[in-house]
Structure formats: C-alpha cells, structure tokens
C-alpha cells in the first residue's frame, strides 16, 4: 500500500527507474535462437512464450538467478523482444520508496515487462506493494492523511515482472512464490564460451585465430560478460600493434597486462590461495576470518571469488571452513606462492 500520497499526480513524477541499458547492446543476442548455452532453460522459455501467445496472455513472472555476467539481463531483454513489448529496467536499490514503483506501474502498458535487477535489495514496503501488483494487477493508494484519508485501488494493465539476483537466498519466500518460474542460469561449458567469442568477434568485425579463441575462453571464468570484456581489450591490443587480427600472442599480452595466469586467475585469486596455505596451514579457515585477513567483504568472497576457485578444484568448503585441495596445494608450488 502506498501511503502519504495527497495527489495522484505525484506518483507520475516520482520515478527513479533507469530504463537504459548501459552495457554494449551490440554484443547481446536479440532472440532466443541467437543465445548460446542454457539449452534446458531456453526450452522452458520457448514453451512459456508459445503458451502465452496461444492464450493471448501476458508471460508469467520470472525470477532469474546466477553469478554476475552470466546473462540474466540479456535473457530478460530477449524475452521482451520475443514478445514484441517494451522493457522497463530498474534495480532493487533504486526503488527506495513505494512511490518509485507506483510511478513505473502507473505508466506501464498492457503486456510490458518490468525488469528489476538485484531484486533482493528491495525494501520490505516496496516488496509488499509488488505482491498485489504481481497477483492482482492493482496497487492500493492512500490519498491524504489522518481521519480524512481515503483508500484508492488503482487497477493496472497486465504486465510481466522479471527479477534477477545473485543471491537467491536473500529473496523472501513470499516474493519468490509469486514468480511462475524461478530459473537458474547454470555454468557455461567451455565450448559455449568459445562460440560466444567467435560470434562476438564477428560482430566487432575482428579476425581472431582459433588458438586465441581457445585461450580467451579458458581465462574468462566461463562467464560471457568477462569473455566479451577480454575480447574487446584484445582487439585494442591488436590495433595498438597495427594488426587487424587477434592472435594468441595478442591474448598473451592482454593476460600479462591484467596479471592473469593460464587459468584466468588474477592476483587477488592467487592471494586467497596463498593466504589459506601460508597463514592457515592450507585450512580449514572460516569465511569471516579469511575475509578479514584479506580485507574483503565476506559476501564478495563467498559469491564472487570463491565459486570459480571451487569449480577449478583449488579450494573446497567444509563445515569447519575453507581449505585447499591437493590440486590447490600443487597450484601453490607451481606458481611459487610459498612465503
């Protein structure tokens, strides 16, 4: 419910929604058949799109979750394109007041998509307002204050709400339950990343050697966003060398400039491994203790740095904390990380 609104016109002036994509849209696939990887999820989405079209209904609300850079926002944009509707993009952090959401919803059109990134950051009052908007396509507004205040229900056009989060556990169950699909963006396979690099090199009108594609795919943490960043930086290095081709040598120059090893790990990653080995006898060490010793936020350690180190088999989590695996200890010796 929206309170302390004396004039309904205030709703229309109180938006902080950011409707612009700041990322380079030229590299983003526009339709599902252009999207590489996530085959099971794509099939689910195709069925939902077909059903909604047959029923002449809006698409069910969808919550995407997964690591940063894996394509949550891209999929939201693709679905809007497939539906032929407008997508309004904002974030949980930007929706500070109920009036912010009301301003967006009061202007939404039938069938439009509202995309909320970092939806786990929504304030409780804002989240509660979304409950009725998602279920009943209506919001309740209090006009005026005190004993003369009046309750007004504002009916909304039917719309689809897409949310995205890197922290599914931080999304409340009442909100989660209102999504027709809670979809995980799974890890990408190496071959998928290689395909993405080749496709986007073509979009950038850059020639790239096969060995360069393979190396870029191996150092990008199996994350499309990082692969695209590295591809663009490799292009810059090639241009700086007066070359029109991204070769393996160019990618190796990029790796040196970024401090990346053959696994795509940077100095911070190696410091984590080194810290566990040298300061905590290869572990186990608790997350809070390790984070404090690294001067890092525990959530950043847990959600950004650790998952790839775990996927590589260098560290593992246990009930007693983080510890290096045999492979992790071998990594320490290989790269001379012993103090």
Summarize pLDDT for 34-67 with one digit per residue, the tens: 999 999 999 999 999 999 999 999 999 999 999 9
How large is the average pLDDT for residues 144-160?
84
Q: Tell me, what's the pLDDT at 118? A: 95
The reply to whether 55 belongs to the active site is: no
Beta strands in the chain (DSSP E): 2-5, 62-65, 87-91, 113-117, 138-143, 150-155, 160-165, 181-184, 207-208, 245-246, 315-318, 321-324
Alpha-helix runs per DSSP H in 112-247: 124-136, 173-176, 190-203, 210-219, 224-240
The reply to whether 72 belongs to the active site is: yes
Which residue is catalytic, options 28, 72, 221, 322? 72
The reply to whether 73 belongs to the active site is: yes
| Residue 303 CB-density burial (10 A; 0-12 exposed, 13-18 middle, 19+ buried) | middle
Fold adopted by 190-258? Helicase, Ruva Protein; domain 3 (1.10.8)
CATH 3.40.50.300-classified regions of the chain: 2-184
* pLDDT at residue 195 is higher than 70: yes
Which residue is catalytic, options 225, 235, 270, 322? 225
Which residue is catalytic, options 15, 90, 98, 166? 166
Q: Tell me, what's the pLDDT at 2? A: 54
Which residue is catalytic, options 73, 98, 165, 223? 73
Block residue for tokens 């396509």: 137
CATH 1.10.10.10 fits 267-334, yes or no: yes
Q: Find out whether 130 and 122 touch, Cβ atoms under 8 Å.
A: yes
Which residue is catalytic, options 112, 117, 192, 269? 117
- Percent share of the chain, pLDDT over 90: 76
Q: Which residues contact 335 (CB under 8 A, 6 or more apart)?
A: 261, 270
How large is the average pLDDT for residues 221-237?
95
Tokens of 235: 């292009």
For 96-110, how does the pLDDT look when each residue is reduced to its tens digit (9 = 90+)?
A: 888 888 889 988 999
The reply to whether 86 belongs to the active site is: no
* pLDDT at residue 20 is higher than 60: no
Q: Tell me, what's the pLDDT at 299? A: 85
CATH 1.10.8.60-classified regions of the chain: 190-258
Residue count (the chain): 339
Cβ count near 320 (within 10 Å): 10
CATH 1.10.10.10-classified regions of the chain: 267-334
Q: Tell me, what's the pLDDT at 21? A: 40
Single pTM value for the model: 0.85
Architecture of the domain defined by 2-184: 3-Layer(aba) Sandwich (3.40)
């Amino acid at each position: 419910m929206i309170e302390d609104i004396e004039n309904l016109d205030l709703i229309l002036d109180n938006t902080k929604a950011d409707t612009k994509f700041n990322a380079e849209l030229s590299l983003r696939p526009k339709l599902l058949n252009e999207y590489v990887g996530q085959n099971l999820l794509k099939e689910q989405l195709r069925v939902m799109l077909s059903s909604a079209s047959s029923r002449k209904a809006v698409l069910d609300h969808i919550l995407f979750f997964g690591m940063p850079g894996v394509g949550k926002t891209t999929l939201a944009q693709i679905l809007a394109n497939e539906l032929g509707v407008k997508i309004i993009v904002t974030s949980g952090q930007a929706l500070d007041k109920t009036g912010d959401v009301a301003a967006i919803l009061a202007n939404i059109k039938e069938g439009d998509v509202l995309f909320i990134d970092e939806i786990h950051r929504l304030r409780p009052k804002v989240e509660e307002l979304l409950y009725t908007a998602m279920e009943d396509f209506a919001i309740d507004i209090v006009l005026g204050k005190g004993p003369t205040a009046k309750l007004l229900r504002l009916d909304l056009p039917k719309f689809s709400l897409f949310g995205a989060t890197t922290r599914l556990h931080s999304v409340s169950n009442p909100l989660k339950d209102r999504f027709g699909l809670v979809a995980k963006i799974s890890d990408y396979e190496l071959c998928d990343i290689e395909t993405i690099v080749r496709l986007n090199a073509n979009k950038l009108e850059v020639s790239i050697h096969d060995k360069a594609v393979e190396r870029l795919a191996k150092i990008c943490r199996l994350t499309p966003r990082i692969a695209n960043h590295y591809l663009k930086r490799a292009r810059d290095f090639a241009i700086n060398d007066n070359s029109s081709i991204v070769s393996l040598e160019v990618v190796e120059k990029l790796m040196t400039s970024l401090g990346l090893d053959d696994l795509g790990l940077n100095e911070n990653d190696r410091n984590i491994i080194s810290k566990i080995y040298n300061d905590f006898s290869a572990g186990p060490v608790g997350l809070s203790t390790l984070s404090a010793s690294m001067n890092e936020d525990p959530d950043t350690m847990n959600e950004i740095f650790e998952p790839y180190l775990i996927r590589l088999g260098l560290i593992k989590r246990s009930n007693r904390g983080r510890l290096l695996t045999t492979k992790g200890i071998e990594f320490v010796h290989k790269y001379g990380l012993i103090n």
